[in-house]
Amino acid sequence: MLLAMPRVGKRALALCVDVALCVLTVWLAFYLRLDDWVRLSGEGNFQPLWAVLASVLIALPLFVVHGFYRVIFRYSGTAAMHMVLRAFAFYALLYMVLVTAIGLPGVPRSIGIIQPMLLLLAVGATRALARYWLGGDYQAIVARMNRPKAVIYGAGNTGRQLANALANSPDMQVVAFLDDDDRLHGHVLNGLPIHSPQDLAGLVQTRGVRTVLLAMPSLPRQRRNAILADLRPVRVAVRSLPNLSEMVQGRISMADLQELDIDDLLGREPVMPNHILLARNITGKVVLVTGAGGSIGSELCRQILAVAPAKLLLIEQSEFALYAIHQELEHKLASQTVPQAPVLVPLLASVQDDDRMREIMSTWRPDTVYHAAAYKHVPLVEHNPAAGIRNNVLGTLRTAQAALEAGVTDFVLISTDKAVRPTNVMGASKRLAEMALQALAATHTGTRFSMVRFGNVLGSSGSVVPKFRQQIRDGGPITLTHPEVTRYFMTIPEAAQLVIQAGAMAKGGDVFVLDMGQSVKIIDLARRMVELSGLTVRDADNPEGDIALEVTGLRPGEKLYEELLIGDNPKPTVHPRIMKAHEEFIPWAEFEGRLNALELALNVNDVGVIRLMMQQLVAGYQPSDDIVDWVYLEQGAVAQG
């Protein structure tokens, strides 16, 4: 309010305050001199009004001349204080001469000494108060008092470290601990009370708690899931603690506190990797990754780098994606003290470029190839079928043939659960790529071809979790294609580790299937994310909720349910999360000719023939929609127009 006043108004207010201080200090000086309060209008032999008039007439001109009313109080510093002292030195001299030396009727001479000291204290105090109230100190205290309130779940050593790290955070105020151990309830840790988790609803009401910070890094997943289930109805945002080294060094901020990781949202327990399998095809070898800048390809590169290959070849057709992953890996190497750091070779190339792939393979002769390059976005490939098939099928075949000629020992294709009884071009093209490798493996024994099939990876481009998180931040709605859609999910790091381990078990022509756990209903995942963000879902049962769920309809080629197996006869492997499937394929002698015919149709973008040939080649492929190829639709519209 005061800060918004015009400059003239602020100066007038300051002048009025100083006049009042002159009156007040004269009155107080009379009290100190006489040990009794005297009316300003005069009483007996004493006339304070003369002293007041003298004070105002001397002080105000001096204050104006010395620039008292040009100073911005909230920014005043040492120079302003010097100015005040200089002005009061003149004021005290003049006032003492007038009141003490010359004398005023009804005014004790000692008032000329007492009042200037009182006025100096009063004026200095008002300036200091203005600076405090209108400046940063007061605003900072108000801001600290209004910080979002949080509680830490877990009163152990980790919780104590987290509380210490957040003690001076401008973004969050920790007001209490929660802990399951009833022996701690009622006690105080680091000045904060320890409550039972059942008290959380009360803390939300009485203390305004809006966030729960999980400080239990070693808690079993089952117990962690139970805690999250208990927190969901309380309407609090749940975050997990950051890196412990950052906490210890005190470099923590609100941004460092992470949203719940994907394993928490899925409620599944990751399996620790088998390090023998991880190293078998990588350590000390030349490894090549296609699609190195993509979601899966980049994570494969990170995992591979950690197992110390001799060389890592990064193949990517996107210049920016290749630059980004190469810079990231270079930074990782620079921050590590490795005696013999792997050589990183970034290579711009398309897997459809037969000559380029042969040149790369023959130059470096890699031991292991992980083929992650593919078009994976179902609706985009459905609208651009020829490009998707050419990249996913012919690109895989050309890369595999180049690997075969270069004497590559192991070739691992990253496949998808959408290849099983596909309803879309993307899934059908990936199944056809699998069949190409199966046919090559049955004919050529020099390279062990294998493929690893799994479901959706969370955190990848187009994944629902980042999309839902952004929609929640934007206030909704969360968009779902269908209320009954279910999907298998896995985190990118876990999927990449399992791909490497599965490839190490290959004998040739193997189709490995990753155990994705239970399928997840997408609408349930969305509800869980909303509730663990401290919000509620707006629906018919709760019309006042925060985030609405909006059903937009299935997209072209999209299925309600995904499957991992064509048959029902998976075989176990030495890894509990990796199974081996037996899938039928077309022998190479027949398959090669049919692929050549498909390529001719692709070259002229004969979408109808392409679809028919894909149905003939891929058993179980049943397109769920009419042709939606953009070029085909536009040509049809032009012909009709």
Cα–Cα distances (Å) from 504 to 283, 310, 447, in that order, read: 12, 17, 13
In single-letter form, the type of residue at position 264 comes to D
**Cα–Cα distance for residue pair 230/225, rounded to 1 Å:** 9
**Cα–Cα distance for residue pair 503/512, rounded to 1 Å:** 8
In the numeric block, the tokens 């663990």 are attached to 532
Q: Omega into 477 within 30° of 0, i.e. cis?
A: yes
Element (H, E) at 48: helix 48-65
In single-letter form, the type of residue at position 455 comes to G
Q: How many CB atoms lie within 10 A of CB 300?
A: 27
Query: ∠ CA(554), CA(559), CA(565), 5° rounding?
Result: 170
Q: Give residue 7's pLDDT.
A: 56
**Cα–Cα distance for residue pair 155/162, rounded to 1 Å:** 10
pLDDT in tens, 45-95: 777 777 777 777 777 777 776 666 555 444 455 556 666 677 777 777 777
Which residues make beta-bridge pairs with 345?
313
Cα–Cα distances (Å) from 396 to 141, 185, 300, 307, 402, in that order, read: 62, 61, 18, 26, 10
Q: How many CB atoms lie within 10 A of CB 622?
A: 11
Q: How many CB atoms lie within 10 A of CB 97?
A: 12
Q: Using CA of residue 11, residue 12, residue 14, residue 18, what is the dihedral sign?
A: positive
**Cα–Cα distance for residue pair 268/266, rounded to 1 Å:** 6
SS3 state of residue 318? coil
Q: Give residue 72's pLDDT.
A: 47
Q: How many helices (H) and strands (E) does the chain have?
A: 24, 23
**Cα–Cα distance for residue pair 262/489, rounded to 1 Å:** 9
Q: Give residue 191's pLDDT.
A: 85
The residue count of the chain comes to 641
**Are the CB atoms for 190 and 163 separated by under 8 Å?**
yes
In the numeric block, the tokens 């997209």 are attached to 555
Q: How many CB atoms lie within 10 A of CB 362?
A: 12
**Cα–Cα distance for residue pair 602/395, rounded to 1 Å:** 13
**Cα–Cα distance for residue pair 208/201, rounded to 1 Å:** 10
Which residues make beta-bridge pairs with 579?
513, 572
Detail the DSSP E strand segments found in 292-334.
311-316
pTM of the model: 0.68
Provide the token pair at 243: 């890196």
SS3 state of residue 403? helix
pLDDT in tens, 549-605: 988 888 777 777 776 665 567 888 888 888 898 888 999 999 999 999 999 999 999
**Are the CB atoms for 453 and 511 separated by under 8 Å?**
yes
Q: Give residue 499's pLDDT.
A: 92
Q: Which residues of the chain have pLDDT under 50?
A: 1-4, 72-75, 138, 243-256
**Cα–Cα distance for residue pair 445/108, rounded to 1 Å:** 117
Instruction: Kindly give, in sequence order, each residue whose CB lies less than 8 Å from that of residue 542, ignoring residues fewer than 6 positions away.
Output: 536
Q: Give residue 57's pLDDT.
A: 79
**Cα–Cα distance for residue pair 192/274, rounded to 1 Å:** 43
Element (H, E) at 210: strand 209-214
**Cα–Cα distance for residue pair 200/614, rounded to 1 Å:** 57
SS3 state of residue 453? strand
Core vs surface per residue 9-37: b (16+ CB within 10 A) or e: ebeeebeeebeebbbebbbbbbeebeeee
In single-letter form, the type of residue at position 369 comes to V
Cα–Cα distances (Å) from 604 to 382, 387, 615, in that order, read: 17, 11, 18
- In 3D space, the residue among 77, 88, 86 whose CA is nearest the CA of residue 119 turns out to be 88
Q: At what angle do helices 492-504 and 295-306 cross, to 10 degrees?
A: 60
Instruction: Kindly give, in sequence order, each residue whose CB lies less than 8 Å from that of residue 606, ignoring residues fewer than 6 positions away.
Output: none
Q: What does residue 618 show for φ and ψ, rounded to 5 degrees?
A: -105, 110
**Cα–Cα distance for residue pair 172/195, rounded to 1 Å:** 19
Cα–Cα distances (Å) from 19 to 50, 55, 57, 105, 332, in that order, read: 14, 9, 10, 21, 68
Instruction: Kindly give, in sequence order, each residue whose CB lies less than 8 Å from that of residue 50, ignoring residues fewer than 6 positions away.
Output: 104, 105, 106, 107
- In 3D space, the residue among 308, 350, 348 whose CA is nearest the CA of residue 329 turns out to be 308
